[in-house]
């Protein structure tokens, strides 16, 4: 039996562990699921014959080393900053390792030693990063192999609520870490290239510079720019590309309403508010508006942000109970962002029967034989339920598949890797299709950067 150690058995591990258990008999695997909570680990193993659950405190060096030594390959589902100690143990005990996280500087620093020991440390092989790399590189490589020259690459990803569970005005529910949603766009201007020109969008305008995209069968979505559009320029071999843009997908109208929170200052995470615990939702909203003894909080907000009375934005705010004088915040020394998260969780938490949805679309513009062409590649994945969510499937399945393929010697390039090589993306994208994670490609006219896609 070949032993796979999965460290971390949270929500995002369910599809990963299921896949491995399902393959365990035919592939001769034993899956050891380790978590700080034995109960959570057990809930994932479900008494499977080829699985076992163990309690593991990652900060306990003896326990950690023992578990790693006792495995053939390690999957770390820990928070990103905890991968490094696992990676060092893997180096020491000569084990391959797989994560879904961005390659940190620390992780990167192990590259030479990993190569020397012929070890594979595969990272960024979840959804985003992960499926985005693989699906993009497959098309980019095929264009290049035909002799094409890349002109444009745009890539959009979003975690949303499935249409059948979409029952609020924002067409949005939290399907992942809410805090990351609240803080999206913080930390600096978004930077990208359009037709050879560097463009910068400051936070205060990020949600007013969206683009509209369409996905066949699912209608229109909007995209706001990520901070890091140029991060993979060199890695993808796109140093000379004219247009490079990455963005986050929401349903149309989300960003325009979210901008209200930005303008009010409700997404600020840099200071704590006075007396936040005893504040009502209405008090919270009023904190960002000028004092006026004669006007309501409602009218002050409308006037301040110039919201017409029949604007749907208004209904969106009301739906969140932002003006409720009776609901208390109940959080001590909280930042505006923490309070907003609390308020949004009241409205945007998935119900028991709700399903989530992952949407990804890439646009590839290129020149081949003197002709400009464009490929649009789209993927939509809908969750089965609240355990096998679209997020758990799209993050966990590529991780699991990569792990098995490394174990089986199908993926062989050693070092600190990300999945941009054909030996990785080709078999994994092929197998993902069996699980309904399918990119639909179509050829569209080359638009270059079409100004009609811009909303001011």
- How far, in Å, CA of 75 to CA of 6, rounded? 5
Per-residue contact flags (x/-) with its own copies for residues 310 to 339, judged by CB under 8 A: --------------------------x---
Among 60, 292, 408, 412, binds its own copies (CB under 8 A): 292
Comparing CB distances to its own copies, the nearer of 82 and 242 is 242
Least separation in angstroms between residue 364's CB and its own copies is 18
Among 47, 105, 145, 198, binds its own copies (CB under 8 A): 198
Stretch that binds its own copies, among 109-117, 282-290, 368-376, 407-415 (CB under 8 A): 282-290
Least separation in angstroms between residue 143's CB and its own copies is 23
Among 23, 65, 199, 421, binds its own copies (CB under 8 A): 199
Per rule CB under 8 A, count of chain residues that contact its own copies: 42
Chain CA centroid to CA 263, Å:
25
Which ranges in 150-271 belong to alpha helices (H)?
178-182, 203-206, 254-264
β-bridge partners, 201? 190
Among 28, 109, 177, 197, binds its own copies (CB under 8 A): 197
Contact between 101 and 121 under an 8 Å Cβ cutoff? The reply is: no
Among 69, 104, 142, 194, binds its own copies (CB under 8 A): 194
Residue 292 has a CB neighbour count (10 Å cut-off) of: 12
Least separation in angstroms between residue 327's CB and its own copies is 18
Could you tell me the two tokens for 280? 């009502």
Among 39, 61, 106, 195, binds its own copies (CB under 8 A): 195
Least separation in angstroms between residue 158's CB and its own copies is 21
Comparing CB distances to its own copies, the nearer of 126 and 336 is 336
What DSSP state is assigned to residue 341? H
CA distances from 284 to 4, 174, 224 (A): 49, 22, 27
Among 42, 95, 133, 209, binds its own copies (CB under 8 A): 209
Comparing CB distances to its own copies, the nearer of 42 and 282 is 282
Extract long-range pairs of 268-273: CB within 8 Å, 24+ residues apart.
268/335, 268/336, 268/337, 269/182, 269/183, 269/186, 269/335, 269/336, 269/337, 269/338, 270/335, 271/335, 271/336, 272/333, 272/334, 272/335, 273/334, 273/335, 273/336, 273/339
What DSSP state is assigned to residue 207? T
Least separation in angstroms between residue 405's CB and its own copies is 39
Which ranges in 279-327 belong to alpha helices (H)?
281-286, 297-304, 312-319
E strands in 296-389: 356-368, 371-382
Least separation in angstroms between residue 275's CB and its own copies is 8
Among 234, 294, 309, 443, binds its own copies (CB under 8 A): 294
- How far, in Å, CA of 149 to CA of 242, rounded? 11
Among 287, 338, 373, 374, binds its own copies (CB under 8 A): 287
- How far, in Å, CA of 232 to CA of 132, rounded? 11
| Residue carrying structure tokens 């359009």 | 194
Kindly identify the residues of this chain, within the stretch 69-98, that bind its own copies according to CB under 8 A. none
Kindly identify the residues of this chain, within the stretch 251-280, that bind its own copies according to CB under 8 A. 262-265, 268, 270-271, 273-275
Contact between 36 and 56 under an 8 Å Cβ cutoff? The reply is: yes
Residues 6+ apart with CB under 8 A from 337: 179, 182, 183, 266, 267, 268, 269
Among 84, 93, 176, 203, binds its own copies (CB under 8 A): 203
Best CA proximity match to 54, nearest among 72, 70, 33, 75: 33
Residue 382: helix, strand or coil by DSSP? strand
Comparing CB distances to its own copies, the nearer of 174 and 449 is 449
Kindly identify the residues of this chain, within the stretch 152-191, that bind its own copies according to CB under 8 A. 188-189, 191
Comparing CB distances to its own copies, the nearer of 326 and 456 is 456
Is there binding between residue 109 and its own copies (CB under 8 A)? no
Comparing CB distances to its own copies, the nearer of 132 and 268 is 268
Least separation in angstroms between residue 300's CB and its own copies is 9
Binding site for its own copies (CB under 8 A): 188-189, 191, 194-195, 197-205, 209, 262-265, 268, 270-271, 273-275, 286-295, 303-304, 336, 449, 451, 454, 456
């Amino acid at each position: 039996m070949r032993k796979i150690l999965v460290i971390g058995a949270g929500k995002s591990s369910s599809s990963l562990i299921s896949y491995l258990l399902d393959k365990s008999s035919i592939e001769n695997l034993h899956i050891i699921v380790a978590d700080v909570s034995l109960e959570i680990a057990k809930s994932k193993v479900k008494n499977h014959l080829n699985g076992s659950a163990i309690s593991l405190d990652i900060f306990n060096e003896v326990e950690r080393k023992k578990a790693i030594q006792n495995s053939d390959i390690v999957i770390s589902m820990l928070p990103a900053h905890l991968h490094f100690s696992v990676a060092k143990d893997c180096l020491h005990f000569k084990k391959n390792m797989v994560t879904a996280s961005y390659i940190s500087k620390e992780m990167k620093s192990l590259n030479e030693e990993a190569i020397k020991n012929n070890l594979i440390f595969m990272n960024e092989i979840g959804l985003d990063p992960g499926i985005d790399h693989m699906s993009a590189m497959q098309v980019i490589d095929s264009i290049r192999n035909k002799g094409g020259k890349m002109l444009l690459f745009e890539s959009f990803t979003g975690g949303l609520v499935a249409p059948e569970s979409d029952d609020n005005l924002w067409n949005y529910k939290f399907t992942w870490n809410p805090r990351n949603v609240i803080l999206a766009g913080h930390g600096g201007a978004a930077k990208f290239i359009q037709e050879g020109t560097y463009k910068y969008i400051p936070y205060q305008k990020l949600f007013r510079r969206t683009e509209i995209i369409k996905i066949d069968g699912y209608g229109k979505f909007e995209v706001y720019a990520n901070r890091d559009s140029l991060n993979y320029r060199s890695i993808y071999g796109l140093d000379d590309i004219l247009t490079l843009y990455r963005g986050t997908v929401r349903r149309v109208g989300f960003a325009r309403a979210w901008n209200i929170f930005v303008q009010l200052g409700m997404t600020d995470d840099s200071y704590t508010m006075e007396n936040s615990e005893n504040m009502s939702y209405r008090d919270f909203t009023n904190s960002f508006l000028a004092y006026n003894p004669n006007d309501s909080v409602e009218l002050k907000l409308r006037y301040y942000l110039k919201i017409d009375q029949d604007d749907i934005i208004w209904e969106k705010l009301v739906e969140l109970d932002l003006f409720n004088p009776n609901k208390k915040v109940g959080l001590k020394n909280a930042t505006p962002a923490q309070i907003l998260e609390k308020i949004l969780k009241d409205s945007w938490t998935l119900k028991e029967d709700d399903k989530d949805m992952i949407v990804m679309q890439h646009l590839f513009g290129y020149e081949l034989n003197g002709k400009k062409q464009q490929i649009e590649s789209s993927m939509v994945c809908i969750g089965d339920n609240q355990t096998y969510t679209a997020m758990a499937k799209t993050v966990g399945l590529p991780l699991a598949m990569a792990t098995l393929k490394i174990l089986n010697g199908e993926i062989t390039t050693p070092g600190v890797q990300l999945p941009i090589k054909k030996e990785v993306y080709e078999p994994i994208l092929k197998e993902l299709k069996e699980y309904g994670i399918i990119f639909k490609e179509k050829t569209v006219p080359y638009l270059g950067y079409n100004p009609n896609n811009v909303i001011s």
